[in-house]
């Protein structure tokens, strides 16, 4: 039986993990490979490397990082953030990432989804959707959540599915970084309207948050801070999810 | 030497690291290989197009008895055709690859494998072990099915016939148990 997935997010800048460092014991872990290995050993199902191309001048460091992760980690990983060309998509996959996510690139030219999906396979293409409730509907934002696009997230999710996206990485801009829980309403309306897997993102703080996101329709839950700050390990979350009645890989 | 077939996409590092193989799309290298691993990333028609230059060599090697391990699309190309698109498979086996019809598609994530027959590939691996899947198409149960995975449809999660092995999941992404599969192919076959 297919297990619900826990995905660890690593924010990358210049080839290193960045997050405000609060805890002494993880202070030295800024090497993405070392942290990834720890996550893998702690029961993580997948990894996502975010904002990897935020700075263009350090592209080589980024590419080098992808191949180092690929050589050392034996669980799947997705790379994205600032991916704005087909060449980058191919290079990322070529260097060893399993999946690529694109966001602004797809919003600027939705047809690109069809092309990428054909070339790397639908299963390997993730479309990231950043959404914020505008009082009427969940609106899609581009450019790292800075530009409102006047597009309904549900409609955009349906479009990317039709164009060949294999998965949706759905981030609530409002909840991101708050540790107050996922936006379960957003998860619910998007997952009900598409037939591809939906990864919930933004707001994870407690094991209960994961459970309610899964019960709202998420196929996977992504979190950064709770793992980065060593508040919980993936296996600790999974033990709770099992009690919650969900199928997980332990 | 193990030849790891290169179709221009996909993560070949883990496979290379464990198998000690050589990543190649060179006809002579494939001809000289003792074993072949075909990791497939991409779509069926895309990969069929990519392997054109060495397709005949590959088929001949498989038919001559060279141990072959197909991963994901590398399993799918062993059949005649796929609902994913145009292009003739290697037709080592009869039958076609179908699109999954139940649940969320693609089938993404860790799923259990129900081992039906003794298999060298699964030596030392417990029944119902989790492996990582990432696919929308599958081989239905056939005479070569060694294990199944149920995801609405019953998927041949692995096949085996003489020197030909195929796994629908990604052993190179399935932690320790996946590495065991690759080592079994490297050492036990």
The answer to whether position A196 is within a domain reads: yes
**Which pLDDT tens digit goes with each residue over A135-194?**
999 999 999 889 999 999 999 999 999 999 999 999 999 999 889 999 999 999 999 999
**Which pLDDT tens digit goes with each residue over A115-132?**
999 888 889 999 999 999
Domain harbouring A33, CATH code: 3.20.20.70
Q: Judging by DSSP bridges, how do beta strands A16-17 and A220-223 pair with one another? A: unpaired
The answer to whether position A248 is within a domain reads: no
- What ipTM describes this predicted complex? 0.92
Residue A28 belongs to what domain range? Answer: 5-243
A59: CB partners within 8 A, 6+ apart: A53
Could you tell me how many helices (H) and strands (E) chain B has, helices first? Answer: 6, 12
Residue B148 belongs to what domain range? Answer: 2-188
Token pair of A157, please? 């999710």
Any bridge partners for residue A16, and if so which?
A13
* Record: contact A220-B109, CB cut-off 8 A: yes
Domain count, chain B: 1
- CA-based nearest residue to B93, from B59, B44, B121, B118: B59
Domain count, chain A: 1
**Which pLDDT tens digit goes with each residue over A179-235?**
999 999 999 999 999 999 999 999 999 999 999 999 999 999 999 989 988 899 999
- CA B64 to chain A, closest CA, distance in angstroms equals 31
* Record: contact B173-A74, CB cut-off 8 A: yes
> pLDDT band at A77, cuts 50/70/90?
very high
Domain harbouring B96, CATH code: 3.40.50.880
> A166 contacts in B (CB within 8 Å)?
106, 108, 136
The answer to whether position A14 is within a domain reads: yes
Phi-psi region of B176 (alpha: psi -120 to 50; beta: other; left: phi over 0): alpha
The answer to whether position A166 is within a domain reads: yes
CA of A116: which chain B residue's CA is closest? Answer: B42
The answer to whether position A250 is within a domain reads: no
Best of B97, B100, B109 to disrupt the A interface (most A CBs within 10 Å) is: B109
Instruction: Please tell me the predicted confidence (pLDDT) of residue A29.
Output: 63
Instruction: Please tell me the predicted confidence (pLDDT) of residue A25.
Output: 46
pLDDT surpasses 80 at A22: no
pLDDT surpasses 60 at A26: no
The mean predicted confidence, pLDDT, of chain A is: 92
pLDDT per 10-residue tile (average), chain B, 189 residues: 87 83 95 94 87 96 98 96 95 97 96 96 97 96 97 97 97 94 95
């Amino acid at each position: 039986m297919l297990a619900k997935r826990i995905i660890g997010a690593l924010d990358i800048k210049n080839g290193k993990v960045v997050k405000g460092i609060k805890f002494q014991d993880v202070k030295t872990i800024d090497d993405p490979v070392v942290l990834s290995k720890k996550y893998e050993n702690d029961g993580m199902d997948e990894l996502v490397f975010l904002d990897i191309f935020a700075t263009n001048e350090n592209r080589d460091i980024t590419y080098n990082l992808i191949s180092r992760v690929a050589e050392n980690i034996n669980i799947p990983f997705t790379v994205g953030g600032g991916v704005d060309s087909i060449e980058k998509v191919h290079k990322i996959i070529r260097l060893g990432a399993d999946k690529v996510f694109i966001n602004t690139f797809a919003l600027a030219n939705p047809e690109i989804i069809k092309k990428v999906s054909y070339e790397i396979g639908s299963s390997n293409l993730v479309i990231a959707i950043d959404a914020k409730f505008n009082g009427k509907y969940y609106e899609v934002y581009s450019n790292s959540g800075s530009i409102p696009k006047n597009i309904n997230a549900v409609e955009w999710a349906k479009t990317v599915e039709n164009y060949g996206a294999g998965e949706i990485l759905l981030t609530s801009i409002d909840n991101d970084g708050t540790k107050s829980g996922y936006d379960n309403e957003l998860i619910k309306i998007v997952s009900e309207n598409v037939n591809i897997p939906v990864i919930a993102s933004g707001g994870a703080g407690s094991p209960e948050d994961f459970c309610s996101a899964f019960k709202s329709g998420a196929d996977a839950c992504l979190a950064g801070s709770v793992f980065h700050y060593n508040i919980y390990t993936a296996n600790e979350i999974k033990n709770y999810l099992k009690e919650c009645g969900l199928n997980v890989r332990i | 030497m193990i030849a790891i077939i290169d179709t221009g996409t996909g993560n070949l590092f883990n496979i290379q690291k464990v198998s000690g193989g050589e990543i190649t799309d060179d006809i002579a290298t494939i001809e000289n290989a003792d074993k072949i691993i075909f990791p497939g990333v991409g779509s069926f028609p895309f990969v069929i197009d990519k392997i054109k230059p060495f397709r005949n060599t590959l088929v001949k090697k498989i038919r001559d008895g060279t141990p072959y391990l197909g991963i994901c699309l590398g399993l799918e190309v062993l059949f005649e055709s796929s609902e994913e698109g145009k292009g003739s498979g290697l037709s080592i086996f009869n039958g076609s690859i179908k699109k999954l019809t139940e649940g969320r598609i693609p089938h993404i994530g860790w799923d259990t494998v129900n081992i039906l027959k003794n298999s060298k590939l699964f030596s030392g691996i417990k029944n119902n072990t989790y492996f990582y899947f990432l696919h929308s198409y599958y081989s239905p149960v056939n005479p070569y099915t060694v294990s199944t995975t149920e995801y609405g449809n019953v998927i041949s999660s692995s096949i085996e016939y003489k020197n030909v092995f195929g796994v629908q999941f990604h052993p190179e992404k399935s932690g320790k148990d996946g590495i065991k599969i690759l080592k079994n192919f490297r050492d036990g076959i």
